[in-house]
Structure 1
Amino acid sequence: MAGALASFSALFFGIALMMMGNGLQGSLLGLRASIENFDTAVLGVVMSGYFVGFLAGSLYAPRVVAKVGHIRVFAALASLASISILVHSVFIDPWVWGAMRVITGFCYAGLYIVAESWLNDMSDNANRGRLLSIYMVVQLGAVAGGQFLLGLADPSGANLFMLIAVLVSLAVLPLCLSASKTPDFSTPEAMGFRELFRLSPLGSLGMVLSGVANGVIFGFGAVYAQRAGLTVNEIATFVAAMFLGGMVLQWPIGRMSDRIDRRVVILAVTIGAAVVAAVAAMLPEPAPLSMQPGGEVRVIWPIMAAAAVFGGLSIPHYSLFTAHVNDRVPARKMVAASSALVFLHGVGAIAGPNLAALIMGRAGPSGFFITLAGVHAVIGLLAGYRMLRRSAPAPVDQSDFVAMPLRATQIASQMPDGWGPDDVEDASDDDSEPAISMPDDGETMHEQGPANV
């Protein structure tokens, strides 16, 4: 394993730089937009632009990679992402920002696809799951670390935008100068959404709702913190706390879901997240507690604790629903299902910032947590309903939980099952069964998968 980590060091370092820039950019734009007094509804459209671009990139970038090659695509997209970031600092206009967010999302989807293809191609079935977990730690850890760069310069100036462009540009160097071979690449077949829903209604709808929650967190976390009265450094700590909480609790939640009915774990963590979000919505805005010679003492630990606990309970949903779908989908169709799940998550993420903007426009800053509480309450109701409709598979029949990065593409979603490029080609060449077929009544869950969750 140590040798594998050494061979992946350049890839992980490049990903870390890229994610630090991405994490800083998301919070900086939310903070700067509030400083510039962007309308809340317009800000929702601007922040959702990233997810529109990411979804388009997830669908289109694999074709470009297959034609042009990984290194060229990675370098071109990183350059375009750096340019789009700098445009934000030149044109302080919400519509220009919205267009640049679409371009940024498209670029990052392509960058992830290249990085995850490298990760998948260089790993094997013995270490793929562990390396994917390390990839998740690198992603979330770098996003959290990027928040603390907010304090290096005035958010109302251009310096932080330039810093982000430098980080994204530097991310190209470790990969382009790496001696690792370019991975083989093939685009997996797609699965119809109707088939996926029939195989796993909870997984399909849950992935959409998980995308909504993640879109709210990424799009409006810094906006909420700024409007709630937090300072720049406190905003960085607040946003970082959510990501770090999710990183820490991924494994214990995942291991628990491998031992019991996974839907019970989904129900427990989503109700817990809803309760924490509801409590956070009722917390008073940070205010001075007393005056001391050194200045004000601010009461911020309750909201910071709530952010960490909420992130720890909410962020693992993506991995939980991915594992749940893998429990229900036949092994030969898992690759196709992963592409559909990424699409569903992206659709939800596009809706998230707009929903948060609508509710925050009416309820004020607390609307951020009100939105998240409502989304998780719906997930809980859905999970409880599906538990009444169908019994759970035995734990031994469940797939193993793998901690997934939140902004993964279909390439990373395929990795827990040990699929490489050759496997994808074999699956696509298999004409023994149509791509969209339903199980016969006599087939077992393990062989074909149930018709309903």
Structure 2
Amino acid sequence: MSLRATLIGIFALLLGAGALNLGMGLQASLLGVRAGLEGFPTPLIGLIMSAYYAGFVAGSLFAPKIVARVGHIRTFSAFASLASAAALCHAVFVDPLSWAILRGLTGVCFAALALVTESWLNERSSNLNRGTVLSIYFVVILASTAVGQAFLMMAPPSGYDLFIFVSVIISVALVPITLTSTPTPAISEPRRMALRRLFGISPVGVAGCFGAGLVTGAFWALGAVYAQGKGLPTDDIAIFMTLVVGGGVVTQWPFGRLSDQMDRRYVIGGITVAIAILGAIAGLGLFPEGQGLYVLGVLMGGLVLPLYGLVIAHANDFLEQEDFVPASASLLLLYGAGAIVGPLLATGVMEFVGPDGLFLHLAVAAALLAVFTFYRMTQRAAVPSEDNVDFVFAQGVSPVSFELDPRSDIEEGCETDT
């Protein structure tokens, strides 16, 4: 099947995925800003934001069983309806405990929705165009997430309007998915590699995915809270968060291609050192404020968002092709675990030192990962650059996305550690 025919076939899927991520992107920033307006204690805001990742990890574990039992369309319809209802309930039950429960439910729903969408994309792609399909899919995700930030300017976050809009957008995502004529694929529970074996193969991959979760989860969950704490009005918070996503989009490929030409650990170590330095400068209040906050958002987004993809690429340098999917599925869970812990730690620091504490957390987490990465460089020789697998645009979505990855070698019946 030609790429053009494939893209026509997956257009409805991409449209639905775009609507979902637009709604989810807006909701994440909206909740952070509204929690600040409601006067929620900073640690409780961290708990609310961490609940999403806890739900996402849980959903990633049991969603395949649900899809196998009731099918793709029913699963998508059920969880999209739940996510839409949860968005509205945030505006009705405005208290930290309710929001934490609802945020966790949203994470569960999004894990299931991403699994359904990506398994369909995998079915509609071929070995010749999987890389292109994956790249287009991730561009749609990030572009939609960035657009979602801009919608924060549409109405005051203190009212109901934005919560209703999130609910409507998630509900609209049902339309192209449920009406698609694309055949539903078979799905099985993702295979995962034992963490002990995975650490023996790639220590930097294991530590790096957890560290990327600590950094990315905290920055993404609390970026809007930080901007609000620095005194930015709602419209400027939306611009700040849009620039964060934009910075990450711009730097994905340059960092990825650079890592293809050298020991990838130099790039991972260099990025984490840069995050640590920038985080320390901002955390100590030494970075220029005003317009400088926008520069800070672009720079930190450009450093933080590519980190997960680089770590996955590094781990894959040491994996057999048939191990890529189960290893990456385990690494995704590690990333999710880090993203659960990251906002909790960051808000603990923010409680003591104010909004700049977010960047102190980023500095410490990144510095620890940098130290471990450079230490491992003294313990193992680099993979020759000509033997490196190619970097591929990657984000932590669902395990099925790794089956779309051209670096994987999908073989039925492969056994792996569990």
Equivalent positions of 1:123-202 (< 5 A) are 123-202=125-204
Task: Show CA shifts across 1:118-137 (max 9, x none).
Answer: 11111112111122111111
Cα deviation for residue 267 of structure 1 reads: 1.1
Q: What CA distance in whole angstroms lies between the structure 2 residues aligned with 1:121 and 1:411?
A: 11
Alignment-derived partner of residue 309 in structure 2 = 319
Task: Show CA shifts across 1:378-419 (max 9, x none).
Answer: 1111111111111111122221110012x3111112322465
Equivalent positions of 1:354-393 (< 5 A) are 354-393=344-383
The verdict on how the C-alpha distance between 1:364 and 1:329 changes in structure 2, with shifts beyond 3 A counting, is same
Secondary structure of 1:98's counterpart equals helix
Alignment-derived partner of residue 32 in structure 1 = 34
Alignment-derived partner of residue 408 in structure 1 = 397
Counterpart residue identity of residue 224, structure 1: Y
The verdict on how the C-alpha distance between 1:256 and 1:418 changes in structure 2, with shifts beyond 3 A counting, is closer
Counterpart residue identity of residue 271, structure 2: V
Q: What CA distance in whole angstroms lies between the structure 2 residues aligned with 1:170 and 1:279?
A: 43
The verdict on how the C-alpha distance between 1:418 and 1:117 changes in structure 2, with shifts beyond 3 A counting, is farther
Task: Assess if the C-alpha contact under 8 Å between 2:64 and 2:189 holds in 1.
Answer: yes
Cα deviation for residue 199 of structure 1 reads: 0.7
Q: What CA distance in whole angstroms lies between the structure 2 residues aligned with 1:307 and 1:126?
A: 37
Instruction: Say how many residue pairs are matched.
Output: 416
The verdict on how the C-alpha distance between 1:11 and 1:336 changes in structure 2, with shifts beyond 3 A counting, is same
Counterpart residue identity of residue 44, structure 1: G
Alignment-derived partner of residue 291 in structure 1 = none
Q: What CA distance in whole angstroms lies between the structure 1 residues aligned with 2:44 and 2:171?
A: 29
Q: What CA distance in whole angstroms lies between the structure 1 residues aligned with 2:310 and 2:252?
A: 9
Q: What CA distance in whole angstroms lies between the structure 1 residues aligned with 2:285 and 2:347?
A: 20
Equivalent positions of 1:321-360 (< 5 A) are 321-360=311-350
Report percent identity of matched pairs: 42
Task: Assess if the C-alpha contact under 8 Å between 1:74 and 1:111 holds in 2.
Answer: yes
Counterpart residue identity of residue 206, structure 1: G
Alignment-derived partner of residue 12 in structure 1 = 14
Equivalent positions of 1:235-274 (< 5 A) are 235-274=237-276
Q: What CA distance in whole angstroms lies between the structure 2 residues aligned with 1:23 and 1:360?
A: 23
Counterpart residue identity of residue 333, structure 2: F
| Match 1:427 to one of 398, 410, 414 | 414
Task: Assess if the C-alpha contact under 8 Å between 2:138 and 2:393 holds in 1.
Answer: yes
Task: Show CA shifts across 1:119-171 (max 9, x none).
Answer: 11111121111221111111111111101111111111111100000000001
Task: Assess if the C-alpha contact under 8 Å between 2:402 and 2:408 holds in 1.
Answer: no
Provide the TM-score with structure 2 as the length reference: 0.96
Task: Assess if the C-alpha contact under 8 Å between 2:79 and 2:113 holds in 1.
Answer: yes
Task: Assess if the C-alpha contact under 8 Å between 1:229 and 1:285 holds in 2.
Answer: no
Task: Show CA shifts across 1:2-37 (max 9, x none).
Answer: 333222221111111111100110011000100010
Could you list the runs of 5+ residues in structure 1 that have no partner in the other structure?
A: 287-298, 429-434, 438-453
Provide the TM-score with structure 1 as the length reference: 0.89
Secondary structure of 1:401's counterpart equals coil
Equivalent positions of 1:46-65 (< 5 A) are 46-65=48-67
Q: What CA distance in whole angstroms lies between the structure 2 residues aligned with 1:226 and 1:127?
A: 43
Could you list the runs of 5+ residues in structure 2 that have no partner in the other structure?
A: none
Counterpart residue identity of residue 389, structure 1: Q
Task: Assess if the C-alpha contact under 8 Å between 2:389 and 2:407 holds in 1.
Answer: no
Q: What CA distance in whole angstroms lies between the structure 1 residues aligned with 2:286 and 2:37?
A: 22
Task: Assess if the C-alpha contact under 8 Å between 1:186 and 1:424 holds in 2.
Answer: no
Alignment-derived partner of residue 23 in structure 1 = 25
Q: What CA distance in whole angstroms lies between the structure 1 residues aligned with 2:294 and 2:188?
A: 44
Q: What CA distance in whole angstroms lies between the structure 1 residues aligned with 2:276 and 2:136?
A: 28
Q: What CA distance in whole angstroms lies between the structure 2 residues aligned with 1:53 and 1:41?
A: 18
**Between 300-309 and 223-232, the greater mean CA deviation after superposition:** 300-309
Cα deviation for residue 424 of structure 1 reads: 4.7
Secondary structure of 2:190's counterpart equals coil
Cα deviation for residue 176 of structure 1 reads: 1.1
Counterpart residue identity of residue 78, structure 1: A
Secondary structure of 1:171's counterpart equals helix
Alignment-derived partner of residue 230 in structure 2 = 228
Q: What CA distance in whole angstroms lies between the structure 2 residues aligned with 1:301 and 1:379?
A: 30
Q: What CA distance in whole angstroms lies between the structure 2 residues aligned with 1:152 and 1:3?
A: 37
Cα deviation for residue 113 of structure 1 reads: 0.5
Counterpart residue identity of residue 414, structure 2: A
Task: Assess if the C-alpha contact under 8 Å between 1:190 and 1:339 holds in 2.
Answer: yes
Task: Assess if the C-alpha contact under 8 Å between 1:338 and 1:414 holds in 2.
Answer: no
Task: Assess if the C-alpha contact under 8 Å between 1:186 and 1:425 holds in 2.
Answer: no
Task: Assess if the C-alpha contact under 8 Å between 1:188 and 1:424 holds in 2.
Answer: no
What is the aligned-residue RMSD (CA, Å)? 1.6
Q: What CA distance in whole angstroms lies between the structure 2 residues aligned with 1:404 and 1:204?
A: 16
Instruction: Report which of the two structures shows the higher radius of gyration computed on alpha carbons.
Output: 1
Task: Assess if the C-alpha contact under 8 Å between 2:281 and 2:287 holds in 1.
Answer: no
**Between 273-282 and 173-182, the greater mean CA deviation after superposition:** 273-282
Cα deviation for residue 284 of structure 1 reads: 6.5
Q: What CA distance in whole angstroms lies between the structure 1 residues aligned with 2:283 and 2:243?
A: 17
Equivalent positions of 1:97-108 (< 5 A) are 97-108=99-110
Q: What CA distance in whole angstroms lies between the structure 2 residues aligned with 1:69 and 1:391?
A: 47
Q: What CA distance in whole angstroms lies between the structure 1 residues aligned with 2:240 and 2:378?
A: 38
